Structure 1
Amino acid sequence: MSVAREPTADTLAWSSPTAAAVTTMVQTLPAVDLATLESAAGLLTRVDRKYIVTLATLERLVQGLGEEWRALDIDGRRLFGYTSTYFDTDDLVTYRAHLQRRRKRYKVRVRRYTESEQCMLEIKRKGLRGVTVKERQPHPAWQQAELGDDAQRFVTDTLGAYIAQPTSALRPVVVITNRRATLASLTSRSRLTIDTDLTCGWGERILTLRSGHVVLETKVEDHASTVDRMLRSLGERPAPISKYCVGVASLGLDVPHNPWGRTISRYFDNPPT
């Protein structure tokens, strides 16, 4: 099975009504700078839960957060662009591991932060009891769609004892773009990310999150967070969504995508060409 090799164009050079609404909501919260957030609630080892909700639900959630919650603010901005290139083998070993819900599974990506042009190589592994472990290192911005020698060593050293197959066969497969606001409770070490303007795929083969919806991700060390309980009280349940797997589903390859089919049909569209 062959996959594309070139990066997609940046689709974050515009603003949307959904992004504007999210910005307005998170501006009601006190600010926290990046250094404080990372030291108090970095959460590289955590439990993640994802939700897809409407702007109306998000507004009720934000209004109900306690006084300890803060919004990440960098130079007066509260919403930041991300472009993430995900790597897999030609036969999609990491995708199939997620499809089959294997206990040991991982993702390798290079994430570019649009405003700063900085890049990070990130490896996310599923650990015991569903805990996510993330390890990362800086990555050259000009090399976003490839793993050079240094990055390959990092991937091999990180995953060498974790998986059986060689990691040298990893290639770029899917690009995810989104805008993100990050909220944090510095007292309970909890985080909430809010993604808008989400696209998943490659080139013209992409799926876009429908206008008026956002993807929420709660991140906490070892238990359901206050936000999870609030979302439950609002009638929301965790959604079966993997942005990478949604991206693979958009490519038209001969691979199953049943676990995400209902989520895709309910919340995603093919943009007009």
Structure 2
Amino acid sequence: MALDRLQTQRFELKYLVREETAREIRRFVSCHLKPDDFASRFPHNSYPVHSLYLDSPDLATYQAVQCGEKNRFKLRIRYYSDSDSTVYFEIKRRTNDVISKMRAKVRRDSVQALLDGQPPQLRHLAAPDGRQLVALQEFCRLTHRLRATPKSHVAYQREAWMSPVNNAVRVTFDRTVKCETEFSAGLTTALGEAVAPFDDHVVLELKFVDRMPNWCGEMIRALGLVRGGAPKYAQGVALLGEYRLSNRGVGLRVAGSIRRLVPDRAGAPALRPAVAVA
């Protein structure tokens, strides 16, 4: 089971880069950070991450991203393997450029009951904790308000680095991002007919709780990094087709273009049409 490395509030900058650029960034980062304590147990400091995203019948949280709303949130259940006895119920909020998270470590055998509407209690948690119970209650409140149900399974390999003195700075590289429809809470790591929203590009995330370290700014300038969005769930839904997830395939059968993040001529990520959907 992964250790809890949660930054409850932070700034988060995202970049979509090619693998060769990611390797240059790693060399830069390794001069200032150390491999994440959990990641260091795995080859290449990289471990699997799986998330089950919940959304309303009309995909309200997905639409908030598509509309560029500055204040929005996501509901997801995060897990790392098929054998973990606990999982994480997470609310990720964005308020302008500030990211905040609420997380509860929940017994895997309690997941379905909670999604079915059972009131959250301390016994559902991996260990009694008042703050986590509040987080679980808020997760269930939002789920009930939206009538949210499982919609998508997102998986990727994460290489993670952190400050050698605290958790104030984190840098992560997310590779082989895959997304598939998922309407149950089986929480399996197996993938079926998944799409790759970012092709073979790497999602770089710079995360810091206070001001951005000077060396991050130097790295951005030296490598010519261009900040952009890389929403895994939203981009996956766009590529899969909204109609396949909205009301489990009922409605939203509107012809249109799927848009995916691809690099422009200068190598910076840009949204462009990819495939037409009927």
Partner AA of 1:91 in structure 2: D
In 2, Cα distance between equivalents of 1:43 and 1:87: 22
Q: Which amino acid aligns with 1:175?
A: H
Q: Which runs of 5+ in 1 are unaligned?
A: 1-33
User: SS of 2:195's equivalent?
Assistant: strand
- Which residue pairs with 1:190 in the alignment? 169
SS at match of 1:110: strand
Shift of 1:76: 3.0
Equivalent position to 2:232, from 240, 243, 248:
243
Superposition deviation, residue 200 in structure 1: 1.8
**Is residue 122 from structure 1 mapped to residue 90 from structure 2 by the alignment?**
yes
Aligned: 1:84 with 2:65: no
Q: 1:61 to 1:138 in 2, by over 3 A?
A: same
Closer/same/farther in 2, CA of residues 232 and 187 from structure 1, 3 Å limit: farther
CA distance in 1, matches of 2:22, 2:262: 20
Instruction: Name the structure 2 match of 1:70.
Output: 34
Which of 213, 216, 224 does residue 227 from structure 1 map onto? Answer: 216
What do you get for the CA RMSD once the two structures are aligned? 3.6
State whether residues 152 and 179 of structure 2, in contact with CA within 8 Å, keep that contact through their aligned partners in structure 1.
yes
Alignment check: 8 A CA contact 1:50 1:241 kept: yes
Aligned counterpart in structure 2 of residue 174 of structure 1, from 136, 152, 163:
152
| Match among 54, 78, 83 for residue 111 of structure 1 | 78
In structure 2, the residue matched to 1:28 is none
Q: State the partner residue of 1:96.
A: 63
Contact 1:80 1:114 in 2 (8 A): no
Amino acid at match of 2:196: L
Does the CA contact (< 8 Å) of 2:51 and 2:79 recur in 1? yes
**Would you say the 8 A contact 1:110–1:139 is kept in 2?**
no
User: Relative to 1, partners in 2 of residues 1:104 and 1:138: Cα closer, same or farther, differing over 3 Å?
Assistant: same
Identity within the alignment, %: 25
Q: Which segment drifts farther, 53-62 or 64-73?
A: 64-73
Structure 1 window deviating more from structure 2 (66-75 vs 151-160): it is 151-160
* Residue number in structure 2 paired with 1:26: none
Indicate conservation of the 8 Å contact 2:56/2:147, yes or no: yes
* 8 Å contact from structure 1 (residues 176, 243) kept in 2: yes
User: Residue 121 of structure 1: CA displacement?
Assistant: 0.7
Report Cα offsets for 1:170-224 as digits up to 9, x if no partner.
Answer: 111111001111101235821001111210232425235433x311111111433
Where structure 2 has 5 or more consecutive residues not aligned to the other structure, the ranges are 125-132, 182-191, 244-251
Equivalents in 2 of 1:231, 1:144: separation in Å?
Answer: 41
Does the 8 A contact of 2:54 with 2:150 survive in 1?
yes
Question: 2: distance between equivalents of 1:208 and 1:142?
Answer: 31
> TM-score, normalising length from structure 1?
0.69
- 1:261 to 2:259 alignment: yes
Name the stretch that deviates more: 82-91 or 245-254. Answer: 245-254
Task: Give the direction of change, closer, same or farther, for the CA distance of 1:260–1:253 in structure 2 (3 Å limit).
Answer: closer
Secondary structure of the structure 2 residue equivalent to 1:247: helix
Where do 4+ consecutive residues of structure 1 move more than 4 Å?
142-146, 151-156, 264-270
Q: Does the 8 Å contact 2:10/2:210 carry over to 1?
A: yes
CA–CA distance in structure 1, aligned partners of residues 7 and 89 of structure 2? 17
Shift in Å at residue 79 of structure 1? 1.4
Counting matched residue pairs gives 227
